[in-house]
Structures are given as structure tokens and as C-alpha cells.
Homo-oligomer: A and B are copies of this chain.
Amino acid sequence: MPSLSLDCVIFGFHENELKVLLLKMKNMDQWALPGGFIYRDEDIEDAATRVLSERTGLVDIFLQQFKVFGQPNRSEKKYHLNMMKKDGIKVGKDNWIIQRFITVGYYALVDFAVVTPKPDMNSVSCEWHEIHSISELFMDHKNILDHALETLRLQLNHQPIGYNLLPQKFTMPELQKLYETILDKKLDRRNFQRRMNSFGFVKRLKETRKGGAHKAPFLYSFDLRKYKKALQEGLQGGW
């Protein structure tokens, strides 16, 4: 499809940090969000699923469209022209690739442990970056990332965000850290635990997490049926 692309903000959670999957583009200093074009007969949702599966090796991913970015000056004509020239491809001034593009932003939540990052044809590497370490990105990608984070924050009470970002078994401090990172604020440990337990969809297992310096903390897992039911109405209360 002419004029239209998509960009994916792929979130993962690892060692108490929220991370985003970024591509280092060929002949460029900047990092970029994974993205792609839409085939002429392709559903836009299918295109997003395709890009995600190519970059992460996963097929069944939690994926949400969140915003269209349509400012006239957002396309990087110069970059595309340069890249084509370096690859020895001649591009006329009416070529579709250097026209204005409007992009659809998607965010995805993945289990960090099972992802195998893979660069695309325009990039040399594909790596996780901790969200606070990212100050600049290709084109308007930093703006797209910021909007994705804001969307996560707004959807905490309506989407199974914890379920999709955490491994199957997790500790209460890990869950709290995830909420604190998304909300960008400290939460009281006791209140958080009491509140989470009151929802009834987090169940404590008999196992504990061994190997830390402190007393081994209990492991928890989500009761997905109860989680989804609670999210339908929206979790009660703010954080």
C-alpha cells in the first residue's frame, strides 16, 4: 500500500526492567522501532503480526493498535534516498518509497525469555533497550514510543498487561516493579500486595524463588479466567 506503514513498540520485562526491542539501521547511528509496509491485499492487523513474528520469532503475541501518526513532515525522505543510493538502486522523484508516509502505531507485550530478536533487511542488529536509556530514535520513533508508554499506563486496568509481560511464575516484588515502571511512580509494598490479592486473580503458589540474598519470596501466577473477567469491568480504583 502506498503512503502507509506500521511501527511496533515491542515491550518485554527482564530483571526488573521494562525494555523495548530496537533495530540498529544500516549506515546509521540511530536506533529505530521495528516496522514495515502493508501488502496490497493484506489486512493491516496481519501486517503487524507478520512484522512482529519476523522480529521476535513468536507467532501468538498480544498486539494492540494504539495511534496513527500523520504529520506531513514525519517521513525521512533523505534517509531512504541515501540508503537506496548505497545499495545501488536508482529512485525517481515520484517513487513511492520517498513519498509522505502515515504510520500506524502498535504495541506488543511479550515474554522476554522466549524472544529471539532478529534484525530486518535494513538493519544490522536487533536488541533490547531499557526504556529510560532511550533518549533519541530514528525519525519520530521516540514520540511513538512515548505514546505507547502512555497507552500502557491508561490500559493497566483494562488489558492483561501483567499476564503478557511476566513469565508464568513471578514474585510479588516483580509484579510491583512492573506496575511502578509503567506508572512511573513508587507504590507502597503493603497496599500493593493487599490490593492485588483483593482482585482475586493472582494466586500464590507453594514454591518459592530460591537463590537470592533475602528470604526466598513466594512465587505467584495469574488465574487468566478471573483476570480477564475482572478486566472486562475494569479493575476498580487508581494506583
- Chain A contact residues, CB within 8 Å of chain B: 1-4, 38, 40-45, 65, 67-68, 70-72, 100, 102, 104, 154, 157-158, 233-234, 236-238
Contacts and interface: CB of A to CB of B under 8 A. Distances in A.
Given A65-B68, A154-B158, 10 more contacts: A1-B3, A40-B72, A40-B100, A41-B72, A42-B72, A44-B70, A68-B68, A68-B104, A234-B238, A237-B237
Contacts of A154: 158, 234
Q: Quick one: copies of this chain in the complex?
A: 2
A102 B5 CA distance: 11
Nearest to A67: B65
Contacts of A236: 236-238
Nearest to A106: B68
Given A3-B2, A38-B70, A65-B67, A102 B44 contact: yes
7 A-B pairs with the lowest CB-CB distances in the bound complex, closest first: A44-B70, A233-B238, A234-B238, A41-B72, A2-B2, A1-B3, A68-B104
A207 to B, nearest CB: 33
Contacts of A158: 154
